[in-house]
Amino acid sequence: MEYRIVPITEELIPGYRMAFDKVAKESRFLDYLEAPPPPEAVGEFVLSIQNNNLQFVALDDQTVVGWCAITAKAKAIYSHAGVLGMGIVEGYRGRGVGTALIRTTLDAARLRGLKRIELQVRENSLSAMALFEKVGFVKEGVMRKHAFVDGVYENSLLMALLFEST
């Protein structure tokens, strides 16, 4: 499969939203059960675009099939840190797209001067955890009963990567 990893731009926002919505509706991975309404989604992206483009998407031709974003923390004492989120649309997984996306986004974060990247991943997302460990994230803690979906609680793991040690 041919794919390209590119920084998000405004014209890609609707495609991104569609990809996000598909992964969110699987209910098993993200902290949304569907994409947020357009104003919120657009707001996040405008912010991200202003934020040195620490947001990349994977394109199959012109279709967005995955995304990875690192949002820098706003408070002064956390300003060396960012929070990572990503997803690949079902049907495009297991083909290296996630690896390419996360490596591109982490490289951009390192160049930007961030020192710590953290994320939360639901305990049952084994392939996501394997990917994060592969690129240098380590588990820092368990967030017990962190998610509650369809009447079931699920733990999440807090994972982080420090650029100095990788």
Ligand X SMILES: CC(C)(COP(=O)(O)OP(=O)(O)OC[C@H]1O[C@@H](n2cnc3c(N)ncnc32)[C@H](O)[C@@H]1OP(=O)(O)O)[C@@H](O)C(=O)NCCC(=O)NCCS
List interacting residues with ligand X (CB under 6 A). Answer: 23, 29, 86-88, 93-99, 119, 121, 125-128, 130-131, 134
- Provide the β-strand partners of residue 141: 158
Minimum distance between the CB of residue 76 and ligand X, rounded to whole angstroms?
A: 26
Burial class (CB in 10 A: 0-12, 13-18, 19+), 94: exposed
- For tokens 């609680």, the residue is 153
In this complex, which beta carbon is closest to ligand X, that of residue 82 or of residue 98?
Answer: 98
144: Cβ–Cβ under 8 A, 6 or more apart, which residues? 155
Q: Which residue number places its CB atom closest to ligand X?
A: 98
- CA–CA separation, 85 and 42 (whole Å): 16
- CA–CA separation, 32 and 116 (whole Å): 24
In this complex, which beta carbon is closest to ligand X, that of residue 42 or of residue 158?
Answer: 158
In this complex, which beta carbon is closest to ligand X, that of residue 150 or of residue 164?
Answer: 150
Minimum distance between the CB of residue 86 and ligand X, rounded to whole angstroms?
A: 5
In this complex, which beta carbon is closest to ligand X, that of residue 134 or of residue 145?
Answer: 134
